[in-house]
Amino acid sequence: MQPFDTVSGSAAPFLASNIDTDVIMPKQFLKGIDRKGLDRGLFFDLRFLESGGPNPDFILNQPAWSDAAFLVVGPNFGCGSSREHAVWGLKQVGIRALIGTSFAGIFYDNCQRNGVLAIQVSEAQLEHIAGVISVAETAKISVNLPLQEIRLADGSVIAFEIDQLRKQSLLLGLDAIGTTLQRAEQIRRFESRHLSENPWL
């Protein structure tokens, strides 16, 4: 997994509420057995016109935000289906972190597992960030995970919270499975007791 330390780039505002994973990655892109080609599917119905060309109204098609490293999103982003394809698609177009007031649970975990930082801020903070980055000239921000802060082009610095466990894993780009399997003996002991106490399992 790609480690996340300090990342700079433009931040695109996409503030509609309840953006679900069907909108992020529509069904026709879910038919693979690998992770390939999901950059094309990301926000497909919003990014592309019926003709197949890019929709000029969509934020990621506008020059200041076309290479965005961050999305600043509305409440309950990523709700609905568990499809991890949504996060794979975000990663494939270069999104490294999301900033919003609330994320759906499964989506939030999927971000973590793919090295995409999902930052929760307050409504007032989000409003401030969105105001600054919505102007092309001040769209660039910097996210510093070790210091847990977002720096905006207007000079303001916004601190954010993150669980230390998640932070370490993102900073080091840890392989979660490898880490867990270091406890294989402990799992085996637990399992053996658990199954003997509940023999119908």
Residues that bind other proteins (CB under 8 A): 15-18, 20, 22-23, 26-27, 30-35, 45, 74-76, 79-84, 87, 102-106, 109-110, 113-114, 163-165, 176-177, 180-181, 183-184, 186-187, 190-191, 194, 198-201
73 or 133: whose CB is closer to other proteins? 73
Q: Which is nearer to other proteins, 31 or 124 (CB)?
A: 31
Of the two residues 65 and 103, which places its CB atom closer to other proteins in the complex? 103
| Least distance to other proteins, CB of residue 113, Å | 4
Nearer to other proteins, 65 or 107 (CB): 107
Q: What whole-number distance in Å separates Cα of residue 116 and Cα of residue 86?
A: 12
Kindly report the number of other CB atoms within 10 A of residue 175's CB atom.
11
Nearby residues of 78 by Cβ (< 8 Å), 6 or more positions away: 19, 20, 21, 24, 86, 103, 104, 106, 107, 108, 110, 111
